[in-house]
Amino acid sequence: MASNDKRDVRSGGGPVVRTTVAERVYEDIKERILDQTLKPGERLTVESLSRQVATSSSPIREALARLESEKLVVSRFYAGYSVAPTPEPAFLDGLLDFRALLEGHCALIGAPRRLPAIIQTMESAIVQMAKTKRLGTRYREYRRFIQEDARFHQAIVESSGNPAAISIYANLHAVLLQSRLYATRTPSDGSRAQQVFDEHGAILDAFRVGDGEAAERAIREHLEGGRRRLLSGPPGAPVPDAGGPSA
């Protein structure tokens, strides 16, 4: 019988962190979905997942509810849970357009405020992203990067001080949704890393000097770069490299 006792684990050779059974189960199922061990559209039952993950039903149910909130799992009356379909390229293309509008607007307002907490969050996220030198196709290879990338972009939106924008953006799980295409791509050779470094650095530099127009422009350029890296080319094309600029 599983419990919510905490255990010590290491993440990527880093410091020991404390994790609960519920968190471990959530990450295990999430990894199976993003790596497509559990295929898009595949039915998920508590009993089967309990056997696969070797735990009781309670943390499985908790994980499924959390994954549903992140749009990785869907539930239907009388049908139960299933893996959410992979987002269509047209949806992701529109999502990038929406992000450019929302993040650009928030940066235009937020960058001139030069809020220390926002700038510190962005700096910290970039430092952590820089530790991932190459963005592979497996969740364990890009997990830290997408978590920190999401934190970086959430900080941009939070800089505006607009509660509605902050809530809407947080519930999009935009970076996570985009990462669902990584499993269908092949790792690149690292040649695009500098472009990603420069894009994040330009956004941060604009926030540091309080230039809203430059921040908005840098965000739009960054997201257009992401569109080219993520959506251009057939499945099996290289995925973008990861990393952040030294700042």
Q: What tokens appear for 94 in the block?
A: 């529109």
pLDDT at 177: 87
List, for residues 129-181, the tens digit of each pLDDT value: 888 776 677 888 888 888 999 999 999 999 999 999 999 999 999 888 888 77
Please give the mean pLDDT across all residues of the chain.
84
CB 64 within 8 A of CB 73: yes
Phi and psi angles of residue 195, each rounded to the nearest 5 degrees, phi first: -65, -40
Q: Give the helix/strand (H/E) hosting 200.
A: helix 193-209
List, for residues 16-72, the tens digit of each pLDDT value: 444 688 899 999 999 999 999 999 999 999 999 999 999 999 999 999 999 999 999
Amino acid identity, position 173: H
- Alpha carbons 115 and 138: distance in angstroms, whole number: 35
- Alpha carbons 127 and 145: distance in angstroms, whole number: 10
Instruction: List alpha helices for 70-183, DSSP H.
Output: 89-110, 116-129, 139-158, 163-172, 174-179
Beta bridge partners of 6: 20
CB 200 within 8 A of CB 244: yes
pTM of model > 0.95: no
pLDDT reading at 239 higher than 50:
no
pLDDT reading at 7 higher than 50:
no
Per-residue pLDDT band for 12 (boundaries 50, 70, 90) equals very low
Residues 6 or more apart whose CB falls under 8 angstroms from that of 116 comprise none
pLDDT at 116: 98
- Alpha carbons 52 and 246: distance in angstroms, whole number: 41
- Alpha carbons 14 and 28: distance in angstroms, whole number: 19
pLDDT reading at 11 higher than 50:
no
pLDDT > 90 in the chain, percent: 60
pLDDT at 179: 82
pLDDT at 199: 93
pLDDT at 13: 41
How does DSSP classify residue 191?
A: T
Q: Tell me how far CA of residue 225 lies from CA of 61, 94, 241, in angstroms.
A: 38, 15, 12
